[in-house]
Amino acid sequence: MSAIASAATTQKKAILYRMVMPAHTCPYGLKAKDLLQRQGYAVEDHHLTTREQTDAFKALHGVSTTPQTFIDGTRIGGYDDTRRFFGKTVVDPKATSYRPVIVLFVMTALMAGAASFAVSGTPFTLRTLEWFIAFSMVVLALLKLQNVESFATMFLNYDLLAKRWVPYSYIYPYAEGLAGILMIAGALSWFSVPLALFIGTIGAVSVFKAVYIDKRALKCACVGGSSNVPLGFVSLTENLMMVAMAIWMGLSALGIIAVPHAM
């Protein structure tokens, strides 16, 4: 017991002030508390339960936000400042990142493998590749359709056809989603193949021109109009995958190539 008591008395301590109101609990306060505890600190947790109490605390300490962390009598700051205090990375929410697209492609690849396994007992078939591209098209369209207006605004920065005919910027996500769904079903290839080939080719040319010829630093509308994904290779890949899928399915539909579904 004495060893436990000794450890308790020597444990590092931190004081945390955070908003915990009947209608609102600050998520950053919860994050700060969890971070401190994971760093081995005993947290003296002070709740600011009213707006008046919160405003008085801010005025007293000359701060504009809560939560606020104090260690050894020194104010460390808010959640981001506390992360920096422990040497952890603070991600800028406005910074460009490929993470949204990478995560999307990983998940659609896993979905394709799972679907292939359910149908044929193996996750590795040619259908897996087909479904991966088609699933990716549908999910990308879904993200764009969450806010079509925002997508269209960003899309108009670089798409060559949309710049000449603005309604295309609104049609594009519906067309991409429809082509993907038809390709998953293997239905109406006479329609889905030309559609995917058309929008994929225009998209690829537009991205190539904007990035590699005009050298423009733009954000890609590929995962929606609020993304911070930089326009570039990944954006080009999205369109080239559509083109490749369209050509592959077109040749398959014409019987020019045979598509075995098990490898």
Which regions of 175-224 does DSSP assign to beta strands (E)?
none
Of 226 and 187, the structure prediction assigns the larger pLDDT to 187
- Residue-level pLDDT at 195: 92
CA dist., res. 151 & res. 173, Å (int): 9
Question: Which two tokens mark 37?
Answer: 């505890």
Contact between residue 176 and residue 137 where contact means Cβ atoms under 8 Å apart: yes
45: enclosing H helix or E strand:
strand 41-48
**pTM, two decimal places:** 0.76
Chain mean position to CA 32: 24
pLDDT of residue 263: 39
Q: Token digits for 85? A: 């205090």
Cβ neighbours, 10 Å, residue 13 = 13
Question: Is residue 6 very low, low, confident or very high in pLDDT (cuts 50, 70, 90)?
Answer: very low
Contact 207, 239 (CB under 8 A): yes
Task: Place 3 in a pLDDT band, splitting at 50, 70 and 90.
Answer: very low
For 138-161, the DSSP string reads HHHHHHHHTTHHHHHHHHTTT-HH
Which structure tokens are listed for 155? 């899309």
pLDDT bin (cut points 50, 70, 90) of residue 80 is: very high
Please compute the mean of the pLDDT values over residues 150-163 and round it to a whole number: 89
Q: What is the pLDDT of residues 8-62, one digit of tens each?
A: 556 799 999 999 999 899 999 999 999 999 999 999 999 999 999 999 999 999 9
Backbone angles phi, psi at 22, to 5 degrees: -55, -35
Q: Is the pLDDT of residue 261 over 70?
A: no
pLDDT score of 181: 95
Helical packing angle, 233-253 and 167-185, nearest 10°: 50
Q: What is the pLDDT of residues 210-238, one digit of tens each?
A: 888 888 776 677 766 566 666 666 677 77
Q: Domains of the chain, with CATH numbers?
A: 11-85 (3.40.30.10), 99-253 (no CATH)
Average pLDDT over residues 68-76: 93
